[in-house]
Structure 1
């Protein structure tokens, strides 16, 4: 087993440790602490269609996520510490089926590792409703959304400030210098996601900064703005609008997301010029929800985002593609049902269809006027009582098709994912 202790921003963490040394018995630090263990069983099967060097990416693994969060010491400035221990264990894999993102593997031989583990530490301090964290960081923001979609979570190294001191306003600011991918035990410099040859995947940056916030205009309306810069690569502005309005017997949720992205400095990853407007409208009545969405990309390039993270666009949750190719126009329809409406609480289902067109890729990958589509089906259940109360089971299947050239990153596939999760509160 290869274990790695992730102790980023060591100066900040050591400073917090020195302060805590004399205050660990202070009221709040121990009394308000909590710990949990999440056990995650994950089966991933992406069956590629057509002739290719790899016919499938198929693996099965067991993950353990141990989290500890202290309270804060007493005083005007409170100090605390968080820790996360991660362990992933191979249950089934082989060199011809790696690349699912569940398990690390040796690149030349593609031999998967039997297990991998790591420890992340975070020092924190708090004044009123403002908290500063340094060390292992997880951000879930439109401009940097740490991926939770595989066996173990993806994290960053850096500092993160979050403040709710102003009424109805949540401010977020941060500085990140490294990323730890979801199937890795080591930090690395940040790169730009480059499927279908969108950008230079080898260009690296050690500085990502962001600032922005969410403003709750009213009980039904939230406005968002964020600015982010990946040093010498790109700069991005995000505008968000979320509103939930009662209409007739139900409620209409309007979700509008607009990204403007351009080059920064030397533009090491290549030319960046993108504007992405996405809209999702969802009407809910009782146990039923019906949604329709549209996303349009303008500009000379695709929309860049950090490798390993999740782009928080209206196609979020799609399994095989993010529908962010240059010039792409995509639409979707989605239906969700909560089976509590027929006296089966904990059971939920979803079906969705997404289609993208007007895609422009390099000639070697298919050229102009290309299209892609994905059909998603999902069923999830959380046990409500008894010995297995809290155990969650999630089944997902997708059919993805496109008319790209065989050399493109996205290929026709049928994909199945099965998750079984259980979180045990230790105290």
Structure 2
């Protein structure tokens, strides 16, 4: 089995506190032939290679003119099967390593690599090894240790070199037909450019909240219900202890109209402070609607998002909030009082005989923005995105993915704002291979 060339000493620092127990559990299972049958026979592993270039070319009068770095990532995921019986046990392992290919102190800070606070130099490499114990009964799975969650209020960010993960215990159940229930208790976060677990804090661009305040844990419960093949509903409640709490409601619907499909995506987030409110006041309602029409290889979407209340929309620092502005490149469009319009055009070239090639054009505009900490209101921002992706379909490079993304972002924010006028470019080469 191939192994990653990570530094064992660096990787060890990121092991969850439960790791020794998890290792012993795995060894005890393997040592019992009858139990090892499903544990080993159903196991599998993959190695993902990510080559990432990110360039922020700032167009304002700030002292720093660019953030530009290039790095290579290695992501190994090993997942065991489950031991036989009504209750099955398993063990997963994740090895991550990032290697600097190009960076310098005057243009570091893309979040591809960790950066020294003293001299602004990016690390030559960073790595971690993390483990997850799991248990399955019926259609319910419990995982503890290093976990990933991809939920509306805290989506593990996939937008840099290495994935962002959490430390905690999560449960997912599909025992009720059409319903997926999710609940969890998270006590630490491992950010995408970090090698260790840290207390969670609230995202605070433009000094929206007290970003230095930390939480002991996040707890959540909720689920997704597939009413029928065309309609699904989503509801969640999450509490980030002593920072904020948030309720999420969503509706997704498909309707055949003529030769195409009309899609409706309604999302809402209702947020208030929690407990001792260490991050300051939280008072926000974020409502959005995105309507799309898909026919042939085309898809045209139009959307609107409205934020009300006294503060910006909160989310855990290092994650992404799955609002209408998800996966924007240069801003989150989640400022206080912000009203956001979006237009998007996607095309899948499979329709003209070129499978694997896809493109996107997207324009997002926000106005009526209030930046209390910067003594500014009625401000505006806009972003234009272009994306082109291709997955090679045959030959020796089959399944190699290529992605190019370009963003042109402008705003009229005061000096010192987190989001700056910029032209941003990203190139990504992605390849995943099974290692057994």
TM bucket (normalised to shorter chain) is: over 0.9
Measured against aligned partners, the alpha-carbon deviations of 1:79-131 in whole angstroms (never above 9, x if no partner) come to 00111101100000001111101001111110111001110100000001100
Cα distance in 1 for partners of 2:240, 2:432 equals 35
Label 1:68 to 1:8 Cα distance change in 2 as closer, same or farther (>3 A).
same
In 1, the alpha carbon distance for the partners of 2:15 and 2:225 equals: 33
> In structure 1, what is the equivalent of residue 16 of structure 2?
8
Answer yes or no: is 1:404 the counterpart of 2:417. Answer: no
1:383 and 2:392 equivalent?
yes
1:2-59 CA distances to partner (integer Å, 9 max, x unpaired)?
Answer: 6133332518636743652544662211111110000000000011112212111100
Partner of 1:30: helix, strand, or coil? helix
- One of 217, 223, 226 as aligned partner of 1:216: 226
Matches within 5 A, 1:131-150: 131-150=141-160
- Greater Cα offset, 25-34 or 270-279: 25-34
Counterpart of 1:52? 62
Matched, 1:185 2:192: no
Per the alignment, residue 4 of structure 2 pairs with none
Candidates 231, 236, 246, aligned match of 2:241: 231
**Cα distance in 2 between the residues matched to 1:219 and 1:76:** 30
Encode CA deviations 1:219-276: one digit per residue, 9 max, x unaligned: 1000000000000110100001000111111001100100000011110000000000
2:119 matches 1:105: no
Q: Find the partner of 1:308 among 318, 321, 326.
A: 318
**Residues 9 and 158 in structure 1, CA contact (< 8 A), matched pair in contact too:** no
Cα shift readout 1:151-203 (whole Å, capped 9, x = no counterpart): 00000000010000110000000000000010000111000000001000110
Instruction: Name the SS of the counterpart of 1:3 in structure 2.
Output: helix
2:210, 2:145 → 1: CA distance?
Answer: 28
Matches within 5 A, 1:7-406: 7-8=15-16, 10=18, 13=22, 16-17=25-26, 20-23=29-32, 26-362=36-372, 365=374, 367-406=376-415
Cα pair 2:29 2:36 within 8 Å, conserved: no
Provide, for residues 342-389 of structure 1, a one-character-per-residue CA deviation record: whole Å limited to 9, x for no partner: 1111100100100000000126x3511100000000000000001000
Q: 2:307·2:336 contact (CA, 8 Å) conserved in 1?
A: yes
Once residues 105 and 57 of structure 2 are traced to their aligned partners in structure 1, the CA distance between those partners, rounded to angstroms, is 15
State whether residues 35 and 66 of structure 1, in contact with CA within 8 Å, keep that contact through their aligned partners in structure 2.
Answer: yes
Question: Number of matched residues?
Answer: 426
- Extract unaligned runs of 5+ from structure 2: 1-6
TM-superposed deviation, 1:206: 1.7
Q: Write the distance in 1 (CA, Å) between the matches of 2:187 and 2:422.
A: 35
Q: Secondary structure at the match of 1:240?
A: strand
Contact 2:115 2:121 (C-alpha < 8 Å) held by counterparts:
yes
| Matches of 2:22 and 2:199, distance apart in 1 | 20
Range that drifts further, 168-177 or 16-25: 16-25
| RMSD of Structure 2 on Structure 1 (CA) | 1.3
8 Å Cα contact 1:336-1:350 kept in structure 2: yes
Give the conservation status (yes or no) of the 8 Å contact 1:351–1:377.
Answer: yes
Give secondary structure in 2 for the equivalent of 1:125: strand
Contact kept, 8 Å, 2:49 with 2:431, in 1: the verdict is yes
Equivalent residue, structure 1, for 2:3? none
Inter-partner Cα distance in structure 1 for 2:211 and 2:366: 24
Counterpart-to-counterpart distance in 2, 1:157 and 1:9: 9
Equivalent in the alignment of 2:425: 416
Is 337-346 or 189-198 further displaced after alignment? 337-346
